[in-house]
A and B are shown apart, each in its own frame.
Chain A
Amino acid sequence: MNIGRIIREIEVLPEEEPLQVPEDQPTTPEPTQPEPVRRPVPA
Chain B
Amino acid sequence: MTFDRIECVIGEIRGFRWWHVTPRGWLRSPWHGMGRWEVGDNIAGCVRPNRCYQPPLDHHAEGSPDIHCACGFYALHDVPTGPHGNVYNVWEIAAATSGTSQGLVFGVAAAHGHILVGTTGWRAEVARVVALYAGLEVRGTRRANAAGRRYDVPVYGNLHALVAEWGPESEDLVGTAP
Contact = CB atoms under 8 A, between A and B. Distances in A.
Tell me if chain B binds chain A. yes
A37 B120 CA distance: 75
A7 B175 CA distance: 10
A4 to B, nearest CB: 3
A21 interface: no
A2 B119 CA distance: 10
B3 A9 contact: yes
B116 A3 contact: yes
B114 A15 contact: no
A7 B31 contact: no
Interface stretch (B6-14, B20-28, B139-147, B161-169): B6-14
Nearest to A8: B117
A1 B9 contact: no
A13 B120 contact: no
B76 A15 contact: no
Nearest to A14: B112
A9 B74 contact: no
Contacts of A2: 89, 91, 118, 120-121
Contacts of B177: 7-8
Contact of A5 (B8, B115, B118, B124): B118
Interface residues of A, number: 15
Contacts of A15: 10-11
Interface residues of B, number: 38
B111 interface: yes
Contacts of B124: 12
A16 B125 CA distance: 18
B178 interface: yes
A12 B120 contact: no
Given A8-B177, A11-B114, A3 B9 contact: no
Contacts of A8: 3, 7, 116-117, 173, 177-178
B111 A3 contact: no
A10 interface: yes
B128 to A, nearest CB: 10
B61 interface: no
B113 to A, nearest CB: 6
